Structure 1
Amino acid sequence: MSGRYQYCDLVVIGSGIYGISAARTYLEVHPHLNVIIFEASATIGGVWSAGRIYDDFITQTPLGMAEFSDRALKDVPQDDQYYGFFKAQHVTRYLASYVKEHLYGDKSIADRIHFNAPVERLSKQDGQWSVVVKGCKPIYKAPQVIDASGLTSTPHIPSIPGKDAFQGLSLHHKDFGQSDVLTNSRYQGFVVLGGAKSAADVAYAAARSHKRVTWIIRKSGVGPAAFVPAQGRGPYKNSNESFYNRLTASFLASAFHSENWWTQFLYRTRVGRQLWNWIWAGINAGPQKLAKFDRPDGRKNGFANLKPDTPLFWQNDSTGIVQRADFFDTIATQVRVIRQDIRSMNEEGLMLDDGTAVAADAIVYCTGWKICHPYLDNETAAQLGLPVHQDFCPPQEIVRWQALDRKGEIKALERFPILCEPPSHLASTSALSPLRLYKGMLPPHDHSIIFLGKLMLGNHFRNAEVQALWAVAALDGNICFPSTEDIGAEIADTVAWCRKRYLSKGELGNWLYFDMVPYTDTLLEQLGLKSHRKTWPKDLLAPCVARDLRGLVNEYKELHQPPNGRKS
């Protein structure tokens, strides 16, 4: 402490799985350095925190994947599992014990977390980051920052005319777990807004609690999520294992997959394209068969309105796992599903564009999250490469990026001709600039701050571990970076490919839902690490699970001891 400043070696913002992984990895490499973690809420875990979970909240990542590599998540009762997917409360307990058990010097990770400490301002001057925290008198100073606040911090609630007139309960699904909306008899008429997996979970939970549930999905939006079976195929126990292996990765048209004879055959030959189409026809058939959208018992309630607008491959309407045997039966028979835009709200509920009035005692907004940076001014956020309104981007930079994006689009379509033929879909555009971070993490012109968790992938646990190790290597100066021009070209290539590959979801260049395996492989290859790879043919066919990453930190330390320019 020095006057009004408190100095440390690293500030971590957020204590979700990205913040926990960042702190653990950094301290494994630098156990004697001073790391401070700021958490805006009263508990750790982010989306897995005690305030957000509820009984019907089930993971979309199964056992063996929903954990860190150095400590298995055990003792989940069979009654709490469905093909390996399990109740989120077990993740909450796992994370709480994880931060207490990891000791560095005389402090655990838990000892380094400041709770109820939202960062109000983050700025840089004279090579030091200043962190102003609400309720804290000292200004924290650090040469390096890892922003692990991710994507699920600031709720998005749409602006609806008359919204403030509604007399019932309104809440975002972030607050659903800590509310009494399911148990309070006052709330019988229950409206769920949104088409993604969170809306499905809330609608199901409300129906199981014997509420009168209406689920409204915008007609002008990208449509309802595709809900895929939990069970796997062939040797794979569940659908995550089926997807997260390196053979399946080659069928995903991923920009992060190494280009070789197989991918050239698959995407640039007639026979390869026929094989690709046959594979994806089979994958698409699974959700359709499981749901039975034309079932007679769902016609009265509009169950067919849950049929996705686009094939599963394109992800224009996102994806969720069916984690309960009775999910579709419950929704079909107990939930009214409406595909219509909302015209206005009043004291009693909502009025839809087609004139339908929907009465409600409670409305739950499952409408996602704002892309915002509350502790950075817009000019700084733009300079760092974060999405901001285009008005805050210098005109010359917009022109430069547009030229690079056009070149990237040509490359993407040449490599993956299938992306030239997207299905008919409702396209959405954004007034925000796309994510312009190298590898989705690092500002091109400032290597003292790294953003983790800004990408949407199907398995955040694996991504958190690999991104954290890459971040430590970058902060330590142990990555050989390309030139500034090449970094810019790679960023533009990724954004352009993402927009073609994931349609509206890819507009900001951060939607990599199916790309977890090739993306994390790319990061580890850049670090020169190999211990996560298996021997043939397991390396190709076996699912990528958490324990595969065991030993990576030690491998990194053996390559870089002592870390360049740092004192452990």
Structure 2
Amino acid sequence: MSESYDLVVVGAGWFGLAAAKACVELRPQDKIAVFESAGTCGGTWAKHRLYPGLKSNNMIGTYEYPDFPMREEVYGVKPNNHIPGAVLNRYLTDYARHFGVHDKIQFNSQVDLIASTPSGGWKLGITSPEGHKEIETAKLILATGLTSTPNMPQYKGAENFEAPLYHAKEFCDRADTINGIKNAVVVGGAKSAFDVAYACVESGSTVDLIIRPDGHGPVWIAPPFVTPLKRRLDQLLFVRWMTWFSPCPWGAEDGYTGARNFLHGTALGRALVKTFWSVLGSDVVKANDYDSHEELKKLKPWQSAFWIGSGLSILNYNTPLFDMVKEGKIRVHIENVDHLEPKKVVLESGKTLDADVMICSTGWKKESSLKISGLDAHGLSLPVSEKDLAQLNTEADEKVLSMFPILKDQPKLKFESKAGEPLRFYRFAVPPTMVEKRNLAFAGMISTVGTAVCASIQGMWISMFLDGQLDRVAKTNEEITQEVMLHTQWGKWRYPCGYGASLPDFVFDSLPYVDLLLKDMGINSHRKGGAWAELTTPYTPGDFKGLLAEWKSTHPDAKI
């Protein structure tokens, strides 16, 4: 007989652990299981994905769960320091143990089948070292994240390359391939490509970094401290008054409608918005001194930071990355790969690069790696015809541009967007067709600079949604459709150089998203204790500690 559960979470990364923790606390009587394909907790920070020198973009204090501070005396990370990957793996494991989640995790368990059951629940097929089994669950949370399925290029001649060729996801398992080599080729312009290139140089090799001329270009990467006042970038993104400068359709959830209407609804306001982003971008360009060296110029971002999204990154290296470029240890090529030859990479220009290894930091397929049998694309999206969807798209586009005229002046892209329909989820977590059924949710299908806070708040929201405990939830299909279309179609216009056309992409939009979910739960979203502090003091995870106790105190009749 198959095992049976009240609730199952698939995935034990930041979002999966947060959702599981919330469900364990809010549903103590339920039989809950977590299935994780890796051998440890962590997702991106699982042990098999770590390599020497890997650190978080965020510094200590902004990359931790609200109810589980990363104390220096326990984890050894000093103030204003980035967090080593091994520390994050340990921290996430400790979090799972502390909140009673770890003993519910079945590791090395790959979910390869999901199907609905006649009873309204779900059947899962799971493969593990012990074999294959099927389980059933009444409710399901999919938290497989956005970095599960690598986007690996296919190169002509790869079968005759005669050297290691793999995706950056495998860099930890195959780190020995860079030992003692002379020449490494790294493909990609994102932060992960810079990380791999840096590690290769540290191991003694010279790196040829290839960035496609018809791609997104080099990542926006900033020093940890920015602006003339030298404030922490990872904290500035959670200063409330700064969030006003990002046009966001759920921004009014913060209660400052007047300020937002002025900034985005008037010519003077929009001029201030453009100035704000220009100052931020110019500060980063000046700090990185891109124009000081011909090779460094190639790494200068191609578009304004306004359009980038959560791909924004922070320099977190022990020694200056850009010095490696100036010294010729990292050579930058803005070209396409034509084909591969034995231990050679041939570019479209005809230039040939020696390669003892080739590592592709070419991103991820930004979609859930799990498919649900019996539910096609319409089953996880809006239940409308293609004709009606086209009309809804047009109406949503018109509304977005009416609310935010600044988005009409779109940047000229060097790449052709291949994005189809974006994820059309209610609150970016629930397929519209499942809102009424309350038996399925997706955790972590958002790309955000505020991972830890968003994971914690979204996990609590999902648990309450599945249990029917939210104070505010859409009641009609029309209400769901209007919100989903506005929120998801906005991404295409807001972050065309990021992931916006495919999935939720948040930068200054993360704090308003937290406001949105907290108000759904009937929890106060202004947590600073004073008007001036509320506007000017950065929100950190600690501002959201104790939410469950707070919710219980204001919902004494809740069924827990």
**Is TM-score (shorter-chain normalized) higher than 0.5?**
yes
Q: State the Cα distance separating 1:36 from its structure 2 match.
A: 0.4
Deviation at 1:80, TM superposition (A): 6.0
Give the residue type in structure 2 aligned to 1:115: F
The answer as to whether partners of 2:366 and 2:502 remain within 8 angstroms in 1 is no
Asked whether the equivalents of residues 115 and 373 of structure 2 are also in contact (C-alpha less than 8 Å), the reply is no
Q: CA deviation at 1:318?
A: 3.0
Listed as ranges, the matches of 1:50-69 within 5 Å are: 50-69=47-66
2-side partners of 1:519 and 1:455: how far apart? Answer: 11
State the SS of the aligned residue for 2:524.
coil
User: Does structure 2 retain, via aligned residues, the 8 Å contact 1:231–1:238?
Assistant: yes
Cα displacement (A) at 1:55: 2.5
User: Is the contact made by 2:310 and 2:506 (CA closer than 8 Å) also made in structure 1?
Assistant: no
Measured after TM superposition, the shift of residue 143 of structure 1 is 0.7
Q: How far apart, in 2, do the equivalents of 1:192 and 1:448 lie?
A: 43
Q: Deviations over 1:274-324 (max 9, x none)?
A: 32222222101122112222224xx3xx32111111011110793211123
Secondary structure of residue in 1 paired with 2:235: helix
Residues 421-463 of structure 1 show CA distances to partners (whole Å, capped at 9, x for unaligned) of 1232224322532101111110111131100111111121111
Aligned 8 A contact 2:187 2:193 in 1:
yes
Query: Do 1:70 and 1:550's aligned partners in 2 also have CA atoms closer than 8 Å?
Result: yes
Identity across matched positions, percent: 28
Aligned to 1:222: 216
How far off is 1:175 after superposition?
A: 1.5
Q: Distance in 2 between matches of 1:9 and 1:77?
A: 35
Contact 1:149–1:453, Cα closer than 8 Å, also in 2: yes
Match status 1:111 vs 2:113? no
Corresponding residue number in structure 1 for 2:358: 363
The residue aligned with 1:463 is: 454
Query: Once the 2 structures are TM-superposed, how far is the Cα of residue 504 of structure 1 from its aligned partner?
Result: 4.3
> Alpha carbon RMSD of aligned pairs, Å?
2.3
Q: How many residues align?
A: 545
> Which TM-score applies when normalising by structure 1?
0.91
Q: Give unmatched runs, 5+ long, in structure 1.
A: 103-107, 387-392
- Structure 1 residues 88, 76: CA separation in 2 closer, same or farther (over 3 Å shift)? farther
Offset at 1:188?
2.2
Structure 2 residue 165 is the aligned partner of structure 1 residue 174: no
Distance, in Å, in 1 between the alignment partners of 2:548 and 2:179 is 48
Q: CA deviation at 1:475?
A: 0.2
Confirm or deny that 1:18 pairs with 2:15.
yes
The reply to whether residue 247 of structure 1 matches residue 237 of structure 2 is: no
| Displacement of 1:357 | 1.2
Deviations 1:546-567 (A, max 9, x none): 1111111122334455645xxx
Q: 2:523 corresponds to which residue?
A: 529
Q: Is the 8 A contact 2:296 2:322 kept in 1?
A: no
What residue number does 1:96 align with? 93
**Which AA in structure 1 matches 2:430?**
L
Q: Residues of 1 paired with 2:377 and 2:555: CA distance?
A: 33
Q: Indicate if the aligned counterparts of 1:81 and 1:87 stay in contact, CA closer than 8 A.
A: no
Q: 1:131 aligns with which of 117, 124, 127?
A: 124
Q: Is the 8 A contact 1:230 1:321 kept in 2?
A: yes
Give, in whole Å, the separation in 2 of the partners of 1:219 and 1:427: 8
Bigger mean CA offset, 452-461 vs 476-485: 476-485
Shift in CA distance, 101/145, structure 1 to aligned 2, threshold 3 Å? same
Moved more, 406-415 or 74-83: 74-83
- Report the CA distance between 1:89 and its aligned residue: 1.9
Give, in whole Å, the separation in 1 of the partners of 2:209 and 2:158.
17
Following TM superposition, by how much is the alpha carbon of 1:384 offset from its aligned partner in structure 2, in angstroms? 4.0
How do 1:380-459 residues align onto structure 2 when only pairs under 5 Å count?
380-385=375-380, 397-430=385-418, 432-446=420-434, 447-459=438-450
Match for residue 332 of structure 2? Answer: 337
Selected match of 1:319 from 312, 318, 329:
312
Deviation at 1:78, TM superposition (A): 11
After superposition, residues 479-490 of structure 1 pair within 5 angstroms as 479=470, 480-490=473-483
Amino acid at match of 1:133: I
When structure 1 is superposed on structure 2, of 486-495 and 360-369 the one drifting more is 486-495
Task: Provide closer, same or farther for how the CA distance between residues 263 and 552 of structure 1 changes in structure 2, counting only shifts above 3 A.
Answer: same
Counterpart amino acid of 2:239? N
State which drifts further: 196-205 or 480-489.
Answer: 480-489
* Structure 2 equivalent of residue 389 of structure 1: none
| Kept in 2: contact 1:303–1:336 (CA 8 A) | no
Task: Name whichever of 151-160 and 130-139 sits farther off.
Answer: 130-139
Distance 2:224 2:75 in 1: 15
Change in CA separation of 1:378 and 1:228 when aligned onto 2, cut-off 3 Å: farther
Which of residues 153, 161, 168 is equivalent to 1:158? 153
Contact 1:84 1:238 in 2 (8 A): no
TM-score, normalized by length of structure 2? Answer: 0.92
